[in-house]
């Protein structure tokens, strides 16, 4: 069983309102989203597009529900020579999260990303040149120093449709960056990328000591197979329900939870399972995820 004094549970608002597909959950309000998170038994949240930008207003709304911000997506563009702009935006983002009490900043390298484009997610996947890898690593090393100024840690979110998606790319990233650059481990994105449980388990086993944030996401095997066959884009897959909550798909979480326990993981595990809320009721699925995690971990 995981240590409830060290591991906390959050859920991402993307199940209620989708930043990449604003039409999904367009009618769902911020208040509904965070209230249902709390009712389902979660105490942490990431940040969605309907969340107040004013930290005082946001804190007040979350405090009354017993929810706190634990992370928020940040897009980096180091590989395409936007270091100066990325760092300037990162400092604003860091300071917002610091005010909200978060300790981790989850980044995604979005140079050449196709995750939001109408392109086949596997066939059109970007591949970085060696020069681009060096720019990414150097940039992330700089972000780690900036995060440390506030007692925070920076992590990279390996993600479908980006240059850091596969196990080999995660390996390269981790090898090229300093030890104070961490990994945001996402069960669903790794399974989606490789179609195997072995890939999911291998990543957490290999990088347990550098994982500072965990996304718990499941994958529907039948939808993934159709996506590959018909060469869908990432967002077409999302709309069709390729992702779901832990315990509702093909991913087995036993090894993930076991490694986190054995390595005394301290931080957040966040359910992140974007679906069409008109098809998959977010509150219902949040409760389903919470029950599964309780059964498997004792949390």
Q: Residue 7: helix, strand or coil by DSSP?
A: strand
For residue 26, pLDDT beyond 90: yes
Average pLDDT over residues 144-170: 98
253-296, pLDDT tens digit by residue? 999 999 999 999 999 999 999 999 999 999 999 999 999 999 99
93-136, pLDDT tens digit by residue? 999 999 999 999 999 999 999 999 999 999 999 999 999 999 99
Q: Strands (DSSP E) along the chain, which ranges? A: 7-11, 44-45, 68-69, 73-76, 104-109, 153-157, 181-186, 211-216, 218-219, 243-244, 267-271
For residue 25, pLDDT beyond 90: yes
β-pairing, 153-157 with 104-109? parallel
198-231, pLDDT tens digit by residue? 999 999 999 999 999 999 999 999 999 999 999 9
Of all residues in the chain, what percent carry a pLDDT higher than 90? 99
What pLDDT score does 159 carry? 98
What pLDDT score does 171 carry? 98
For residue 139, pLDDT beyond 90: yes
For residue 91, what are the CA distances in angstroms to 85, 144, 145, 155? 10, 11, 11, 15
What pLDDT score does 42 carry? 98
For residue 244, pLDDT beyond 90: yes
For residue 1, pLDDT beyond 90: no
Average pLDDT over residues 132-155: 98
The CATH H-level superfamily of 7-297 is Divalent-metal-dependent TIM barrel enzymes (3.20.20.150)
What pLDDT score does 182 carry? 98
What pLDDT score does 258 carry? 98
């Amino acid at each position: 069983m995981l240590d409830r004094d060290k591991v906390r549970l959050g859920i991402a608002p993307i199940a209620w309102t989708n930043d990449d597909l604003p039409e999904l959950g367009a009618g769902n309000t911020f208040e509904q989203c965070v209230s249902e998170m709390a009712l389902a038994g979660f105490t942490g949240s990431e940040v969605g597009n309907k969340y107040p930008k004013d930290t005082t207003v946001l804190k007040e709304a979350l405090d009354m529900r017993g929810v706190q911000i634990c992370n928020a997506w940040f897009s980096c563009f180091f590989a395409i020579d936007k270091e100066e702009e990325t760092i300037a935006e990162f400092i604003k983002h860091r300071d917002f999260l610091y005010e909200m009490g978060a300790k981790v900043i989850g980044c995604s390298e979005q140079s050449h990303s196709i995750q939001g484009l109408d392109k086949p997610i596997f066939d059109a996947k970007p591949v970085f040149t060696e020069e681009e890898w060096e720019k990414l690593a150097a940039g992330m090393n700089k972000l780690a120093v900036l995060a440390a100024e506030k007692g925070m840690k920076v992590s990279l979110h390996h993600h479908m449709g980006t240059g850091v998606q596969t196990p080999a790319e995660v390996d390269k990233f981790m090898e090229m960056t300093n030890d104070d650059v961490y990994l945001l481990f996402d069960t669903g994105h790794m399974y989606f990328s490789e179609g195997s449980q072995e890939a999911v388990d291998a990543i957490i086993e290999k990088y347990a000591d550098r994982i500072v944030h965990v996304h718990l996401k499941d994958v529907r095997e039948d939808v993934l197979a159709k996506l590959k066959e018909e060469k869908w884009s990432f967002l077409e897959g999302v709309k069709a329900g390729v992702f779901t909550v832990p315990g509702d798909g093909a991913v087995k979480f036993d090894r993930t939870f076991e490694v986190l326990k054995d390595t005394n993981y301290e931080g957040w595990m966040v359910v992140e399972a974007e679906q069409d809320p008109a098809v998959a009721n977010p509150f219902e699925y949040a409760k389903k995820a919470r029950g599964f995690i309780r059964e498997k971990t004792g949390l």
